[in-house]
Amino acid sequence: MTDQDPSLSRVLQSWRHDPRAAPRFNAGVWARIEAARTAPWSSAAIIARWCGVPAQHFRWALPLGASLVLLLAATVGAGAGYLQTVRGRNDRMAAAYVQAIDPVQMTAGHHH
């Protein structure tokens, strides 16, 4: 079979392909675009796929995860603030307590 085969050339020249239009193709494309645009839970969809569960059951996963991270941040911040304040107060109080019973420190304070 070569390009010079006249019968093949004739067949190719006369060949036409008319694919049948997919039913509701445009509507389907727009529906998928709209779904992607309005779904803020694409990360949840990844987790859902990974778990083998429909994505719509994971709509709450991202907001819940974000809320938990914020709660953790607040807890860590409050804990750090509390610990540092308590440590600072203990340090101050212990220093004042020892100064009140240590003559060397007491007299040093008076002479400065």
Partner 1 sequence: MHRLARFALLVVVVAACAYGVTSYYTGRRSEDQWTWLRLEFHLNTAQLTRIHALHAAFQPVCADHCNRVAAAQLRLTALEQAGGKSSPEYAATAVEWDAIKRECNAATLRHLQAVAQVMDPDQARRYLAMMVPRIARSDHQGPRGVR
Residue 48: CB atoms within 10 Å: 18
70 makes contact with partner 1 (CB under 8 A):
yes
Asked if 48 and 58 count as a contact pair (C-beta separation under 8 A), the reply is: yes
Closest-CA residue to 2 (of 19, 103, 12): 12
Asked if 8 and 1 count as a contact pair (C-beta separation under 8 A), the reply is: yes
Nearer to partner 1, 8 or 76 (CB): 76
73 makes contact with partner 1 (CB under 8 A):
yes
38 makes contact with partner 1 (CB under 8 A):
no
| The one segment of 4-12, 14-22, 28-36, 84-92 that binds partner 1 by CB under 8 A | 84-92
Chain positions contacting partner 1, by CB under 8 A: 66, 69-70, 73-82, 84-86, 88-90, 93-98, 100-108, 110-112
